């Protein structure tokens, strides 16, 4: 070992150290979702970070190139997971005999994508997922939206909108234009770029992808449909897919989901049908949805029904619907808008050490505060008091506790409020 | 995509799916430690799963071969982290200008080691770490032991023992035998195998590693020292290192740590000096410790002072002391001994759906229970009631709630205790 040769301390591009106030926000967001998930009766599961490469390939469409693959010590082709959904489908089929269906699970953990790194797009990030497997009931699709509504309300996004669409509705519409199934996937991918490139951009994408120009005005009309009134939107869409079995099925499921959401108390202004929402991933088959808020580009959650995914691993088809909350954009937005917890200090109290003879008394007092649930730091050095106060101040700890020989003789300690400078005495507990 | 070609759903050897009661125990253990860490004023940080390979190499002695290295999309040599300590040292030096010292952090996350997989030794597992950087005060070393004591007590291990030793004490002793510094590291590694191979095994290891036979009886005598009375042990050790500066320094630090732990209320029977404890990792420089409990082979936590580690990344030396709680053995042991939470059901209540006309009322009632903090599942199907009860039973949900048209007419719902069969009526809240 060449101990004197210094290694430059640095992180890989797209990978982050996180600390301080940022971690306080992250833990807050994580705890809110975890509470809500448990509140709705979801169970925690964990799947490994590494999977056999073959488990992940062929599931993510054009994004598949972003998967980190490598060869392990035993010569196996392995891959870091790209999301938590494909591993969940693998999990379901692998442990099928142990699982009571319908099965509701949540998972909040890291995923990896070798994407072009920039602000808001990192190579390692958290996903925050729930899924319901084993039912095709629209009660399940609606429950996912109820969970989203509950979580975003709890986090302070009263104005959030759940955008809702249905793959079968879009497929039915495309089918009714007599576009082939192979071409349909190209239409999806073009529409998926709407938010980035706008209507003109989609038009160009459609042409580039070989869609015949006669279809394009109708497609553009469909994806331009917009409106706050879901009932009006439903009847407009009903006209567009009239007579197409697939489209009508999709529409009736959409209707049912919206009805159940209303039963569950989601205000209609928080749900909006959006025909141009398609979501890029290959595996969706039914309802699809995203959560957006004004002033933030991109979505804060995205998901849908993927009834075909488990069939990649097993002959038994298992219906499934789920959502991934965009943990990273959500934390970023809440940090920027200062929507996180106000108290970001590492402790509530800082106990100074007047001199080394006071160690026992100070440590005893610290333990007493801790049993009351307070977060307590104790000074490690009996340095000058001013220096110890400065330390507490730098850390933003709101209160400092002084217990010196004089205080001890009087059976008290002093609490100093670091913001106001106010001091008060309290009795030392026995 | 060959959708019809099934991929066998399987996990890599040494990597685990976790669910059900196991996850309940894991979350419980995680929450207990997180609460204790925050109680002692530690801040959460996160470092990436992937680091430049050069950050990790040369830090782990013989274990280094277990690191997962690979080349990323940009041709960089990268590695999955082997522990959380080396990345923490990298973090400290990289962000030195942002950090107020002493700095206390915790991190509970995954690490990877390409080890021979077997029960209790997995290739992916959680570590649960705290570290204090920027002080050489024995108050810090002692605080780590206070945190361990608090956590293991909270988890129900009243009889746990913190084994304590000091690298300088052992080094001083070896020095006093006139063993060279190069050979000393071989002595450490031999002693480290004591728990696996016993005294005779260590003797053989020492010979194999080229230690001259005249030293061996003295080394064996040293590592056989054992005893519950720390004061007796301290004076025995004082005789053994008398006149050796390094050994005496180590011993005086040990004494101070033990004294401060007593001040902080750790009973003396929970701390035991163990001269044969050396811990394999290259980077320890001062106090070292492990937590053991009767009837469990191996340790439930391990750590120590590593004042030299940051010097690998920077010219500034930053003192540091920390511990990794053995999250995995701890969860395994608690699961086996049924020491985890009793209630392992995914929900407290299961609301049956009498018929589809009752959806609105049932969903409304569910939301009401949830706002009271109850964990609630709602049936997705208005199937036969018996089938719905069976579902709740299979999931172990203790209470089922029935709200059918008759109940609604009377303004009540029925709660059935699934264990006793007892039923009672409650008023529907407005």
Identify the CA nearest to A200 among candidates A220, A185, A182: A220
pLDDT at B281: 66
* Nearest chain B Cα distance for residue A63, angstroms: 14
Identify the CA nearest to A191 among candidates A179, A178, A177, A205: A205
Q: Does B421 touch chain A (CB under 8 A)?
A: no
* Nearest chain B Cα distance for residue A15, angstroms: 6
Do residues B362 and B382 touch, judged by C-beta distance below 8 A? no
Do residues B273 and B279 touch, judged by C-beta distance below 8 A? no
Q: Does A51 touch chain B (CB under 8 A)?
A: yes
Q: Does A135 touch chain B (CB under 8 A)?
A: yes
Q: Does A388 touch chain B (CB under 8 A)?
A: no
pLDDT at A226: 87
Residue A173 reports pLDDT greater than 70: yes
Is A17–B44 a contact, with Cβ atoms under 8 angstroms apart? no
- Report, as an integer, the average pLDDT of A162-177: 94
Do residues B142 and B180 touch, judged by C-beta distance below 8 A? no
Question: In this structure, what are the phi and psi dihedrals at residue B112, rounded to the nearest 5 degrees?
Answer: -130, 135
Best mutation target, A138, A380, A430, to test chain B (most B CBs within 10 A): A380
Is A373–B308 a contact, with Cβ atoms under 8 angstroms apart? no
- Report, as an integer, the average pLDDT of A336-354: 94
Is A73–B68 a contact, with Cβ atoms under 8 angstroms apart? yes
Identify the CA nearest to B13 among candidates B119, B111, B110, B108: B119
Best mutation target, B35, B81, B363, B401, to test chain A (most A CBs within 10 A): B363
Identify the CA nearest to A395 among candidates A347, A338, A360: A347
Identify the CA nearest to A82 among candidates A117, A41, A115, A116: A115
Q: Does B2 touch chain A (CB under 8 A)?
A: yes
- Report, as an integer, the average pLDDT of B199-227: 92
Is A364–B112 a contact, with Cβ atoms under 8 angstroms apart? no
Q: Give tens-digit pLDDT for B43-102.
A: 999 999 999 999 999 888 878 999 999 999 999 999 999 999 999 999 999 999 999 999
- Report, as an integer, the average pLDDT of B16-29: 95
Residue A123 reports pLDDT greater than 80: yes
Query: Among partner residues A110, A265, A363, which is closest to B263 by beta-carbon distance?
Result: A363
Q: Does A41 touch chain B (CB under 8 A)?
A: yes
Q: Does B356 touch chain A (CB under 8 A)?
A: no
pLDDT at B146: 98
Contacts of A123 in chain B (CB under 8 A): 50
Is B90–A114 a contact, with Cβ atoms under 8 angstroms apart? no
The complex scores an ipTM of: 0.91
pLDDT at A1: 43
Is A346–B23 a contact, with Cβ atoms under 8 angstroms apart? no
Do residues A287 and A254 touch, judged by C-beta distance below 8 A? yes
Identify the CA nearest to B24 among candidates B301, B376, B345, B329: B345
Exposure on the CB side of residue A114, measured as CA atoms within 13 A: 17
Lowest average pLDDT, out of A292-301, B251-260, B305-314, goes to: B305-314
Is A71–B73 a contact, with Cβ atoms under 8 angstroms apart? no
Q: Does A201 touch chain B (CB under 8 A)?
A: no
Q: Does B17 touch chain A (CB under 8 A)?
A: yes
Q: Does B154 touch chain A (CB under 8 A)?
A: no
Mean pLDDT of chain A: 94
Which 269-288 residues of chain B touch chain A by CB within 8 A? Answer: 282
Residue B135 reports pLDDT greater than 50: yes
Could you give all domains of chain A from N- to C-terminal order, each with its CATH number?
20-336 (3.30.930.10), 349-427 (3.40.50.800)
Contacts of B367 in chain A (CB under 8 A): 264-265
Query: Among partner residues B23, B150, B380, which is closest to A45 by beta-carbon distance?
Result: B23
The CA–CA distances, whole Å, from A327 to B30, B122, B424 equal 20, 28, 42
Residue B329 reports pLDDT greater than 80: yes
Lowest average pLDDT, out of A162-171, A276-285, A348-357, goes to: A276-285
Query: Among partner residues B9, B143, B380, which is closest to A102 by beta-carbon distance?
Result: B380
Tokens of residue B289, six digits: 């410790």
Cβ neighbors of B229 (< 8 A, separation 6 or more) are none
pLDDT at A357: 96
Is B100–A394 a contact, with Cβ atoms under 8 angstroms apart? yes
CA–CA separation, B290 vs B299, rounded Å?
6
Residue A168 reports pLDDT greater than 80: yes
Contacts of B38 in chain A (CB under 8 A): 375
Do residues B161 and B292 touch, judged by C-beta distance below 8 A? yes
CA–CA separation, B113 vs B97, rounded Å?
32
Is B44–A313 a contact, with Cβ atoms under 8 angstroms apart? no
Residue B376 reports pLDDT greater than 90: yes
Q: Give tens-digit pLDDT for A73-99.
A: 999 999 999 999 999 999 999 999 999
Query: Among partner residues B12, B74, B378, which is closest to A78 by beta-carbon distance?
Result: B12
Q: Give tens-digit pLDDT for A225-272.
A: 988 899 999 999 999 999 999 999 999 999 999 999 999 999 999 999
- Report, as an integer, the average pLDDT of B329-334: 95
Q: Give tens-digit pLDDT for B219-276.
A: 999 999 988 899 999 999 999 999 999 999 999 999 999 999 999 999 999 999 999 9
pLDDT at B4: 61
């Amino acid at each position: 070992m060449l101990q004197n040769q210094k290694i430059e301390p640095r992180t890989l591009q797209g990978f982050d150290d996180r600390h301080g106030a940022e971690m306080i926000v992250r833990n807050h967001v994580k705890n809110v979702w975890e509470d809500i998930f448990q509140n709705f009766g979801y169970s925690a599961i964990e799947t490994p970070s590494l999977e056999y490469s073959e488990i992940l390939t062929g599931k993510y469409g054009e994004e598949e190139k972003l998967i980190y693959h490598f060869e392990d010590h035993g010569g196996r082709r392995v891959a870091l997971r790209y999301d938590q959904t494909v591993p969940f489908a693998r999990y379901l089929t692998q442990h099928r005999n142990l699982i009571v269906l319908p099965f509701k699970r949540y998972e909040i953990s890291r995923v990896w994508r070798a994407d072009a790194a920039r602000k808001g797009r990192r190579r390692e990030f958290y996903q925050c997922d729930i899924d319901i497997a084993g039912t095709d009931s629209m009660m399940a699709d609606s429950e996912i939206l109820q969970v989203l509504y509950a979580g975003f309300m709890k986090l302070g996004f009263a104005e959030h909108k759940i955008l809702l669409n249905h793959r079968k509705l879009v497929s039915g519409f495309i089918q009714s234009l007599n576009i082939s199934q192979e071409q349909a996937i190209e239409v999806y991918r073009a529409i998926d770029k709407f938010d980035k490139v706008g209507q003109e951009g989609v038009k160009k994408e459609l042409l580039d992808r070989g869609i015949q120009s006669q279809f394009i005005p109708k497609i553009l009309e469909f994806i331009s449909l917009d409106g706050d009134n879901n009932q009006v939107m439903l009847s407009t869409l009903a006209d567009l897919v009239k007579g197409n079995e697939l489209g009508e099925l999709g529409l009736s499921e959409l209707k049912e989901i919206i009805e159940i959401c209303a039963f569950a108390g989601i205000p209609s202004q928080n749900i909006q049908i959006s025909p141009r929402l398609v979501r890029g991933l290959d595996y969706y088959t039914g309802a699809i949805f995203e959560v957006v808020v004004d002033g933030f580009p991109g979505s804060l959650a995205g998901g849908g029904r993927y009834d075909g995914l488990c069939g990649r691993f097993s002959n038994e088809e298992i219906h499934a619907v789920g959502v991934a909350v965009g943990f990273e954009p959500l934390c970023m937005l809440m940090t920027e808008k200062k929507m996180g917890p106000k108290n970001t200090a590492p402790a509530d109290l800082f106990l100074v050490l007047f001199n080394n003879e006071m160690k026992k008394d100070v440590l005893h007092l610290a333990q007493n505060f801790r049993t009351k649930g307070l977060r307590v730091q104790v000074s490690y050095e009996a340095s000058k008091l001013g220096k110890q106060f400065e330390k507490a101040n730098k850390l933003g700890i709101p209160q400092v506790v002084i217990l010196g020989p004089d205080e001890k003789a009087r059976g008290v300690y002093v609490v100093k409020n670091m913001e106001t400078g106010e001091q008060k005495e309290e009795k030392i507990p026995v």
